[in-house]
Structure 1
Amino acid sequence: MSSSSTINNHNQSYLEKEVKEAMEKHLENLSLNTKKLYKLHQAHWEVWCAKQEFEDGNTVSEAKLVAFLREVRRTGNIKNKRSKLPDGKAKRLGKESLAGYAKAIGALPTVQAAVLGNKNPPAHGTLVKNLLSDYDRENAIRRRIEYEDRGTNTINDGYTLDELRLISRYQFN
């Protein structure tokens, strides 16, 4: 009986080692920009988890991910100088930025499962998808109500109607 349990333990450690190596290989093959963005978002996640003092640390679960995304949604603004609104306020994060956080944090459970034995189900479930779609709807409604200019920071930004007419006449003559 002990030889059977010894074999099982050996097989289990062998499988864990193989999974860990496969995960490391996968992480190596990510593009450079993806690695940078994931590291940045995951560091933000770890700081947030430490601040919240969760018993299981930074282990990812869907409930924690939803709480984190809601906080990022409330406090996160684009800090780029070009992304200022005309009144000087910073623009809110877009749905794509919030989805980037969700993907970066959602990638952690696979690593945690391989290395730490995280038994939680995948974190990018229905609640997270609903949160992202609700955020998108809220932004669309807010933009409509505030008559937000979609042309800011684009090629047409700053041109008057007369200047655009002159440009088009020049192009087509």
Structure 2
Amino acid sequence: MKNSVLFWAFLFLTGCAMGGGKQDSSNIYSAPPVGSNIELKTALTVPGGETRVYLQRGVVVTKKALDRYYPSCNFELKKLSETDRTIQPEAFLVVRVQPQTSEIVYHPQPLQLAGLRSAGMDGSGRPMIMRALHLWIGSDRQPDVMRLTCRGGLDDMAWASPPSIDAMRQALGGYASLILP
């Protein structure tokens, strides 16, 4: 928890220090600002029983096929439905940017029930985490479209980073453009 707070404090201070200059789209600490646009160019289908459609390396992937060690993005709807739904092409305005850190729990096989262990992927006890950015978006025409979430790859706590703007754009491919103000 302490490392997470320090990371996001560093991210905030680095962002403040950058001033009004041009953003470096390859910098992992340079998040898209409020006022950016996500221009969806191609309709995306959210499968029934899901609230998200995932994009990675410029193609739509299922949650099961997602490579958690590589940057990805997903569009998210507010409400769950049992039927497929389509997000139509539109320019969505980014109204809020929210950093997120998720600790990933890993249970080595076979599952040990006799004792408790700290769950690190490499057995060291260090947690694996994923850093992400929630880009909250607004639309009068499609009010159920809630946000675009882009995440960096799953990694050791010391090395995990949020996705750069370039990595976000690569994940979105030709489906959507991330346009900074």
Q: Which has the higher strand share?
A: 2
User: TM-score normalized by structure 1?
Assistant: 0.24
User: Which structure exhibits the higher relative contact order, with contacts defined as CA atoms closer than 8 Å and separated by 6 or more residues?
Assistant: 2
User: TM-score normalized by structure 2?
Assistant: 0.24
Structure with greater Cα Rg: 1
